[in-house]
Each structure stands twice: as C-alpha cells, then as structure tokens.
A and B are shown apart, each in its own frame.
With several copies, the nearest count.
Chain A
Amino acid sequence: MRKDPLRVRLSGRGGQGIILAGTMLAEAAMQDGLKVVQTQSYGPEARLGASKSEVVISSRDIAFPEVLMPDLVLCFSREAYQKFGRHVSPGGVVLLEQSILKDVPDAQGQTLPLRDTARELGKELVLNVVGLAALVAVTEAVSRESLRAALTHRMKAEFLELNVAALEAGFALGEAVASRA
C-alpha cells in the first residue's frame, strides 16, 4: 500500500546529515528498481537553521522534482519541524525526534527517541541513520536490504560499523512504533 509516487521529506538542522540520509533513501529506492529524484534545500543562513532533503520515489518518470505535499516526513529538530514538518498529505506519516515535543508541545506526529538512541550508540552523528531506518521500518518506503546496501555504498568504511548498528537500532525503534499502530 505504498503510494506511487511516494514523496518523502527529511528535515533537520544543518550538520545533522539530512542530505546524506536523503541520498541513502534514494539509493535504496533505486536498488528496489524504482525511479528517484532527491533534492535539497538550505539557505545561506542555514548552517544551524533548518534544512531539508526530499526524495520522490516512483515506478514512472518523475517530472517535478520537489515535494510540495509529502507523504512521509522525518524531523530531527524544532526549527525543521516548524518550517517543514507541519504539512503532510492525507494518510501521511510524520516521525519526530522526541525532544521536539519539549519545545513544541503540540507537535503532530509520532515521536521517537532518535537522539537518545544515537547517543547510546556512542555518537550523536548517527542520528540521521537511526531516523531513516526508523522511517523505513514504519513505512516500508524502501526495502531494508536496499537500505543496508545503500548505507554500505555511501558510508566511509571507518564509520560503517557504527552506522550499521545505528541502522538496526533504527529498525527496532520503527518496528516498535509500527506494532504500536
């Protein structure tokens, strides 16, 4: 019951690895035999501000490359949620890093302890992989094998092990949510 085209928006602060996450998602979709377009957007002031990476996944050619109304949204930071997380298509899924709730108590979406999970793994930098994996586990946007392959392809060898752990942790988090639903 995946939408076709499926429009995904990942968002967070500059430096949180949003673009790499989008690239891995796109690459995984490609592995799944689909067409993909990944775009990104950051303002010049956005080093710490909100940035986003969008992926359109489809079985057919994709004309317009950007996502106007996403089906899946993943937010890592408050600013990102406020700027990019409030819109979602009917029936769409929004996953939020749970600390966003602290700043925006009325935030709409499923919250997950993504950052805490990343920290537990030893490096907050893997937040993007944890989140992406959780999103995939919840929505089955792409196959897990493809995502694993994409991660292996895009990640520098020295960071691979840690990131594979993050991937699995993210899958686990996502499964928990999925079973909750």
Chain B
Amino acid sequence: MPSVGQDLGAYLRQEMMPTVWCPGCGHGIIAQGIAAALKEVGTDLDQVVVVGGIGCSGRTPFYMNTGAMHTTHGRALAFATGLKMARPQLTVIVAMGDGDALAIGGNHFIHAARRNIDLTVVLYNNSIYGMTGGQSAPTTPQGSHSTTTPLGSIEPNFDAPTLAIAAGATFVARSTTFDFQEMPKLIARAIRHPGFSMVEVLSQCPTYFGRLNRLGEAPEMLFLERDQTIPLHDLPPVEITREVLVGKRPIGVFREEAMPEYTQRYRELCAAAGGVYDA
C-alpha cells in the first residue's frame, strides 16, 4: 500500500461531497487524516462514531463513512461522553474547532480530559472562528486581526496541549496540515491510546485568518505552518514552555501515559456493586 495517498474511498461518505469547506481550507486535510488513521487502526467502521461540534470543523462527521453525530456548538465532548459510556466498545472520535473546543466548549474539554475517558479529540485549530466569518478565538495569537479584533487581539491565547495536560489528558500531541505524513499517524496513535487523547492540528483558514492577517493563499499558509513549528520528538512535558521555543510552536507528542481509563474504571465499579457493565 502506498504510504501517502492511499485509497480512502471506503472511509468517506461520497454522497456528501464536495465538502462545504472553502477552497484551500485545511480542514479537509485533517478529515483525510482521520480517515487514514481509521484505516491504519483497522476498526470496523460500523463501530466508529465521529462526533462533531458546530463550526467548519464540526462538519467533519458528514464526510466520514462511519456513524456521524453533528451536535451543538462546544458540547460535542459531552455527547461523546454519554455515547462512549453507553456503548464502550465504540471507537469515538471527536472533531472540534478551536472555538468549539476551547471557547464555548472549554469546560467539557477539561472535564473529559480529567476523567481520562477513551475518546479521541482532533482539534482543528485554525486560530479563528471560520464558520461565523472570522471572529477571534481563544487561540487567536495576541495581536492578530479578526473581525472582532479589528485593531489586533489584546488577549493571550490558550495553548491547547498545556491545558489538556493540566486537565489530565493522557495522550496529547500537536501536528499541522502541512505534515501529511505524521498527522494521520498521530491520530492513529491517539485512537489506539486507551484514555483521553487529543491531537491538535494546526490548520489554515485562508478565507478569514489568512485574509485578515494577510498571510496569503492556502499554499503560503501551509508553508507558514512548517516555518512556525518545530518538532519535539517526544520530549518530556516539563520542557514545553513557550519561552524555550522563541515563537515556534512545538509539534509532536507531549504526553503519552498509561493511566486507568474511565469506562474501565466504571466496569470495575459495577463489578464491585454486583452489576455487569457491557456484558
């Protein structure tokens, strides 16, 4: 099988194509990464549900040939938590935008991480609210322009991996849409990880973030991703401070740790109570 550009036809919901995404939007590359990861992991697609929030990114479930749940803005992880608990044998992947996951959905994000429940979040970080037309997000770098920060944002941004680790996530990684070889592999690793996993993928929104910040078209933005990141080959988490990296964002795996997973702990609780969970 060729290592890039494999046949993902069976993983895609063809009748929903073409996608709603703008020309050059990075989200399609991430969606493809999820499909490739699913292929690599080899799970029965009947037992996979891709859950999305609301946002351009949140449309991902429509394009995956799996169970698909397009939920509400910010709450995808809460739906996914119920789904996973009710049927723990499902592989549940949660596609969320940066605004979706970290603005309105920040609480569900940290709580799902805290529980260490076996969900895989793919965080589509395009530094902006795409779907609503280019407002600032909690990931918008300070100084950047958006329609709600016409003079440049005055707010510091979240660093998603730092937050995820602080909250308790046990697999945390970052990649980019430039990195088409690593990104699907990281997602696959995240899916295989038994516990809460999060892969942040830096994505380009040429329509808004690119245009408002004069970063060029999609190809230029892709190269910026390359230039503004630096691979951290499995460095221990202690080293991740923004200072060290002089403006570059590290990519790679920040944390990968085996900790008791939530549905597993729940199984043990039921056993102790005399019940059989998920027989």
List residues of chain A with CB under 8 Å of any chain B CB: 15, 44-45, 47-48
Q: Which of B18, B20, B22, B23 has the most CB of A within 10 A?
A: B20
Q: Which residues of B contact A48 (CB under 8 A)?
A: 18, 20, 22-23
Q: Which residues of A contact B180 (CB under 8 A)?
A: none
Q: Which of B18, B20, B22, B23 contacts A44 (CB 8 A)?
A: B20
For window 1-58 of chain B, which residues contact chain A by CB distance below 8 Å?
18, 20-23
Q: Which residues of A contact B18 (CB under 8 A)?
A: 48
CA–CA, A44 to B18, complex, Å?
A: 14
B211 to chain A, nearest CB (A): 11
CA–CA, A45 to B16, complex, Å?
A: 11
Q: Which residues of B contact A45 (CB under 8 A)?
A: 20
Q: Sort A-B residue pairs by CB-CB distance and give the 10 closest, nearest first.
A: A45-B20, A47-B22, A47-B20, A44-B20, A47-B21, A48-B18, A48-B23, A48-B22, A15-B22, A48-B20
Q: Which residues of B contact A44 (CB under 8 A)?
A: 20
CA–CA, A167 to B42, complex, Å?
A: 57
CA–CA, A150 to B21, complex, Å?
A: 32
CA–CA, A92 to B105, complex, Å?
A: 51
Which residue of chain B has the shortest Cβ distance to A45 in the bound complex? B20
Which residue of chain A has the shortest Cβ distance to B131 in the bound complex? A44
CA–CA, A15 to B23, complex, Å?
A: 10
A128 to chain B, nearest CB (A): 17
CA–CA, A75 to B192, complex, Å?
A: 51
CA–CA, A47 to B20, complex, Å?
A: 6
Q: Which residues of A contact B22 (CB under 8 A)?
A: 15, 47-48
A8 to chain B, nearest CB (A): 25
Q: Which residues of A contact B23 (CB under 8 A)?
A: 48
CA–CA, A47 to B56, complex, Å?
A: 11
**How does the 8 Å CB contact mask read for B239-274 relative to A, with 1 for contact and 0 for none?**
000000000000000000000000000000000000
Q: Which residues of B contact A15 (CB under 8 A)?
A: 22
Which residue of chain A has the shortest Cβ distance to B25 in the bound complex? A47
CA–CA, A44 to B54, complex, Å?
A: 12
CA–CA, A153 to B20, complex, Å?
A: 32
CA–CA, A15 to B18, complex, Å?
A: 17
A63 to chain B, nearest CB (A): 30
Q: Which residues of B contact A47 (CB under 8 A)?
A: 20-22
CA–CA, A44 to B58, complex, Å?
A: 13
10 A-B pairs in the complex with CB atoms less than 8 angstroms apart: A15-B22, A44-B20, A45-B20, A47-B20, A47-B21, A47-B22, A48-B18, A48-B20, A48-B22, A48-B23
CA–CA, A147 to B157, complex, Å?
A: 43
Task: Contacts A15-B22, A48-B18 known; list 4 others, CB within 8 Å.
Answer: A44-B20, A45-B20, A47-B21, A47-B22
CA–CA, A15 to B25, complex, Å?
A: 14
CA–CA, A47 to B27, complex, Å?
A: 14
A20 to chain B, nearest CB (A): 14
CA–CA, A47 to B22, complex, Å?
A: 6
B186 to chain A, nearest CB (A): 28
For window 144-185 of chain B, which residues contact chain A by CB distance below 8 Å?
none
CA–CA, A15 to B217, complex, Å?
A: 14
B254 to chain A, nearest CB (A): 34
B58 to chain A, nearest CB (A): 11
B57 to chain A, nearest CB (A): 14
B26 to chain A, nearest CB (A): 15
Q: Which residues of A contact B20 (CB under 8 A)?
A: 44-45, 47-48
Q: Which residues of A contact B21 (CB under 8 A)?
A: 47
Which residue of chain A has the shortest Cβ distance to B18 in the bound complex? A48
CA–CA, A163 to B18, complex, Å?
A: 32
Q: Which of A44, A45, A47, A48 has the most CB of B within 10 A?
A: A47
A147 to chain B, nearest CB (A): 26
Which residue of chain B has the shortest Cβ distance to A46 in the bound complex? B20
